[in-house]
């Protein structure tokens, strides 16, 4: 038996669909959790309601379509989950109106001791909840991208996976973090195309240069491929 180390990162997720977070028990993130490197607690927001129907939503002031998440359950949940010591804690609130999520944001979240995710549903959370916590804890409203999801859970999954894989000891070979797309070392270049066996597949062969054993030529070819790909996809470089 290997003893559990104190976690490098503690994660809390608050959601009305806690089962949505079950993929976190799989794969690399799951291993980081079972090994004790990462702590994960998933909470049902409805545990902080007090009425028979466990109500978390109500109609919007000012009118309009859809429902808004009530502030009281969120306030009670976040007070409990955050606790008194919020040093080195970031409250992450996925929202389509948030700051765009990038590898640089992932790297900065990976330096925190604790991340608490508030996953909204419906038309979002009463804006006073963020106004209240912004003054009390580092709060980051983050958008995964310019498209609309039904709630924050899928965004939280993506953010958690991208953060946890950056923690020391999660990826077996940390050199693989250096050469991948969006790595700060690549100056905005996308990753070059990769190939493995067989040498010929459905009439398509592997570029000869990769079989040459000539490391300088291979590096130059990969750089050229990365530059073409980056330009073709209209990605900016630094």
210 near ligand JCZ, rule: CB under 6 A:
no
Among 91, 105, 110, 121, binds ligand JCZ (CB under 6 A): 121
DSSP string, 46-90: GGG--STT---EEPPTT--SS-EE-HHHHHHHHHHHH-S--TTEE
Among 1, 65, 148, 216, binds ligand JCZ (CB under 6 A): 148
Say whether residue 65 binds ligand JCZ (CB under 6 A).
no
- Residues 150-209 binding ligand JCZ (CB under 6 A) are 150-152, 155
Q: How far is the CB of 36 from ligand JCZ (least distance, A)?
A: 30
The reply on whether position 139 binds ligand JCZ by CB under 6 A is no
Q: How far is the CB of 152 from ligand JCZ (least distance, A)?
A: 4
Q: Note whether 67 binds ligand JCZ by CB under 6 A.
A: no
- Nearest Cα residue to 109 out of 171, 35, 164: 164
Q: How many chain residues touch ligand JCZ (CB under 6 A)?
A: 17
d(CA 173, CA 67): 46
Phi, psi of 200 (to 5 degrees): -125, 130
7 binds ligand JCZ (CB under 6 A): no
Determine the Cα–Cα distance for residues 174 and 167; give it in Å rounded to an integer: 10
Q: Using the rule CB under 6 A, which residue among 60, 71, 75, 96 binds ligand JCZ?
A: 96
Binding flag, residue 18, ligand JCZ (CB under 6 A): no
Q: Which DSSP symbol is given to 181?
A: T
**Residue with the two structure tokens 């700060």:** 184
Positive or negative torsion for Cα 84, 11, 138, 157:
negative
Q: Using CB under 6 A, list all residues that contact ligand JCZ.
A: 94-96, 120-122, 124, 143-145, 147-152, 155
């Amino acid at each position: 038996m290997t003893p559990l180390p104190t976690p490098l990162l503690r994660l809390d997720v608050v959601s009305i669909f806690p089962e949505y977070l079950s993929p976190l028990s799989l794969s690399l993130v799951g291993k980081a959790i079972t090994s004790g490197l990462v702590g994960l607690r998933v909470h049902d927001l409805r545990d902080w309601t007090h009425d028979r129907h466990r109500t978390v939503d109500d109609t919007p002031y000012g009118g309009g379509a859809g429902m808004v998440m009530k502030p009281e359950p969120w306030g009670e949940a976040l007070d409990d989950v955050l606790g008194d010591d919020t040093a080195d804690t970031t409250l992450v609130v996925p929202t389509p109106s948030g700051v765009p999520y990038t590898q640089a944001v992932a790297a900065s979240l990976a330096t925190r001791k604790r991340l608490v995710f508030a996953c909204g549903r419906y038309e979002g959370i009463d804006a006073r909840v963020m106004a209240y916590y912004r003054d009390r804890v580092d709060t980051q409203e983050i958008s995964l991208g310019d498209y609309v999801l039904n709630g924050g859970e899928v965004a939280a999954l993506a953010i958690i996976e991208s953060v946890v894989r950056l923690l020391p000891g999660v990826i077996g070979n940390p050199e693989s973090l250096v050469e991948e797309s969006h790595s700060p070392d690549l100056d905005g270049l996308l990753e070059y195309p990769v190939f493995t066996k067989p040498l010929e597949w459905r009439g398509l062969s592997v570029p000869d240069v990769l079989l040459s054993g000539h490391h300088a030529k291979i590096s130059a070819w990969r750089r050229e491929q990365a530059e073409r790909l980056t330009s073709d996809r209209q990605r900016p470089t630094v």
